[in-house]
Amino acid sequence: MNYNIAVLDGDGIGPEICAGAIKVLNKVGEKFGHNFAFEHLDIGGCSIDKHGTPLTDYTVQRCLASDSVLLGAVGGYKWDNMPGDTRPEKGLLKIRKAMGLYSNIRPAKLWKSLANASPLKYDLVKNGIEIIIVRELIGGIYFGERDKGVDENGVEYAWDTEKYSVPEIERITKIACEMAQKRSKRLVSVDKANVLESSRLWRKTVHEYAAKNFPEIEVVDVLVDNMAMQIVKNPAQFDVVVTSNIFGDILSDEAAQVTGSIGMLASSSLGDSKCGLYEPIHGSAPDIAGKNIANPIATILAAAMMLRDSFDLNEEYNAIESAIQKVLDKNYRTGDIAEDGAIIVGCNEMAELIAAEI
Ligand code: IPM
Ligand code: MN
- The preferred substitution site among 71, 74, 80, 89 for testing ligand 1, maximizing ligand atoms within 8 Å of CB, is 89
- Which letter, b or e, does each residue of 50-79 get, where b requires 16 or more Cβ atoms within 10 Å of its Cβ? eeebbbbeebbebbeebbbbbbbbbbbeeb
Is ligand 1 within 6 A of the CB of residue 249? yes
Is 249 known to be catalytic? Answer: yes
pLDDT computed for residue 230 by the predictor: 98
Contact 72, 10 (CB under 8 A): yes
Flag whether pLDDT at 351 surpasses 90. yes
In the set 42, 67, 192, 209, the catalytic residue is 192
Nearest-CA residue for atom 6 of ligand 1: 89
- CA 249 / ligand 1 centre spacing (Å): 7
Flag whether pLDDT at 74 surpasses 90. yes
In the set 49, 57, 80, 225, the catalytic residue is 225
In the set 102, 142, 164, 317, the catalytic residue is 142
Is ligand 1 within 6 A of the CB of residue 355? no
- Nearest Cα to Cα of residue 255 among 116, 107, 122: 107
Query: Residue 342 is inside which H or E element, if any?
Result: none
Flag whether pLDDT at 114 surpasses 90. no
Is 151 known to be catalytic? Answer: no
Is ligand 1 within 6 A of the CB of residue 92? yes
DSSP letter string over 131-187? EEEEEE-SSGGGTS-EEEEE-TTS-EEEEE-----HHHHHHHHHHHHHHHHHTTSEE
Is 253 known to be catalytic? Answer: yes
Is 112 known to be catalytic? Answer: no
From residue 88, alpha-carbon distances to 101, 268, 286, 294 in Å are 19, 20, 13, 20
pLDDT computed for residue 316 by the predictor: 98
Flag whether pLDDT at 327 surpasses 90. yes
The pLDDT tens digits of the residues spanning 189-221 come to 999 999 999 999 999 999 999 999 999 999 999
Mean pLDDT, residues 93-101? 98
d(CA 221, CA 204): 10
pLDDT computed for residue 177 by the predictor: 98
Is 192 known to be catalytic? Answer: yes
pLDDT computed for residue 320 by the predictor: 98
Task: Using pLDDT thresholds of 50, 70 and 90, give the confidence band for residue 168.
Answer: very high
User: Average pLDDT, whole number, for the chain?
Assistant: 96
**Residue 357 DSSP label:** T
Mean pLDDT, residues 301-327? 98
Q: What percent of the chain has pLDDT over 90?
A: 92
pLDDT computed for residue 199 by the predictor: 98
Task: Using pLDDT thresholds of 50, 70 and 90, give the confidence band for residue 181.
Answer: very high
d(CA 202, CA 54): 32
